[in-house]
Amino acid sequence: MSKTAQRSELYNLLKRPIVTEKTTSLAELSQYVFEVARDANKIELTQAFELAFPGRKVRAVRLITVPARTKRYGKRIGQTQEKRKAVFSITGEPIELFTGV
């Protein structure tokens, strides 16, 4: 596998940042929350984060699996998808995306 293919694979592991009141307060402690791929491990997520945000080093990663919930859509009953979140504790400069939110 080429380097560019590996890089694009790592970029796809971080799906989106999760911005809520609680995660904004965690940003003051240099902790950032992202929705991540369900099959990713901590080493891959650390590499993906450091690739996406150069100049920041990941100190620790905590993974949280959010189970699927039963939801009602009119007469039908369905389920939401299971999600996975990662809390990154970093060293270095804060991320501008979360500053002043």
- pLDDT tens digits for range 30-89: 999 999 999 999 999 999 999 999 889 999 999 999 999 999 989 999 999 999 999 999
Please tell me the pTM assigned to this model: 0.83
Write down the pLDDT at residue 98: 59
What domains sit in the chain, N to C, each tagged with a CATH number?
3-91 (3.30.70.330)
Find, among 16, 36, 18, 37, the residue nearest to 27 by Cα: 18
- pLDDT tens digits for range 57-70: 999 999 999 999 99
Q: Residue 51 in contact with residue 40, Cβ under 8 Å?
A: no
Return the structure tokens found at 70.
């039963």
Write down the pLDDT at residue 95: 85
Report the distance separating Cα 29 and Cα 59, nearest Å: 12
